[in-house]
Amino acid sequence: MKASEVIARYEAFCPQELSLPGDISGLQIGTLDKDIQTVMVALDVREATVAEAIAKHVDLIIVKHAPIFKPLKNLVTDTAQTKIYLDLIKHDIAVYVSHTNIDIVDGGLNDWFCDLLDIRETTYLSEVHEGQGIGRVGNISPQPLSDFVAKVKASFNLAGLRLISYDQDHSHLISRVAICGGSGDDFYADAIKAGADLYITGDIYYHTAQEMLTQGLLALDPGHHIEVLFVSKIAELLRKWQIEEGWVLQVLESQANTNPFQFVY
């Protein structure tokens, strides 16, 4: 079967047009006009991902984070970063990117986060297209902040996370939570407008954290890597479509560790 058939079905679910302006989405390396037998889903394309794809004879990688995110000045094998791209080209591995469109689409990554954390009665954190939005905000069963923090840690299998709060007493009740995968601190004002007690997003900047607290918003920063949920969920969809469409295709979930951060105790 053709790679284009897989991507056509993917884009019927998650169109590129949903992406935020200026975002990178769609085919970034290789061609979709080729026969494929194996597709792999990954969060990032790093050197470990490429080695894994080569070893497993992968034809197509569907990835959330674009491997090429800065303008290239050259394509030389002497540079470790550009070698990643050249190895993909050398082994005829196509790379298709689905970034903010999978965050925005109904039934996509932010909705999967809400399901995982039992956030109900959700709406969009910030509407970016008519009837479509980035992030989600909704209600949880009223509970102490400490209990919900423990739930987030367990749900994402985290060794630790950052709690944005001046208060060392975490017993106060929370009942309304906003969430945005990736680096979403730009949307914290929307969380306040939506009446959230707590905002969950990654890569929160120091001064932005202070501004949040000044305006009465608590926050959790579980890291950018919680988006790894993309891998299992997209693989699950591909396997579902494989049955529906009768595809002869092997679907793999990348096992490469691309999280650059560790907690040291």
In whole angstroms, give the CA distance from residue 174 to residue 84. Answer: 45
172 among annotated binding-site residues: no
244 among annotated binding-site residues: no
Q: What does the block give as tokens for 264? A: 């040291």
Nearest one of 65, 62, 60 to 93, comparing CA atoms: 60
DSSP state of 210: H
Q: For residue 118, give the amino acid letter.
A: D
In whole angstroms, give the CA distance from residue 211 to residue 201. Answer: 15
In whole angstroms, give the CA distance from residue 191 to residue 196. Answer: 5
65 among annotated binding-site residues: yes
DSSP state of 95: E
In whole angstroms, give the CA distance from residue 37 to residue 119. Answer: 38
Query: Exposed (0-12), middle (13-18) or buried (19+): which is 62, by Cβ within 10 Å?
Result: buried
- Do 87 and 145 contact (CB within 8 A), yes or no? no
Q: How far apart are the first and last CA of the chain?
A: 49
Helix (H, G, I), strand (E, B) or coil at 64: coil
- Do 256 and 46 contact (CB within 8 A), yes or no? yes
Q: What does the block give as tokens for 171? A: 């017993």
Tally of residues, the chain: 265
Binding residues for a divalent metal cation: 65, 103, 224, 227
Binding residues: 65, 103, 224, 227
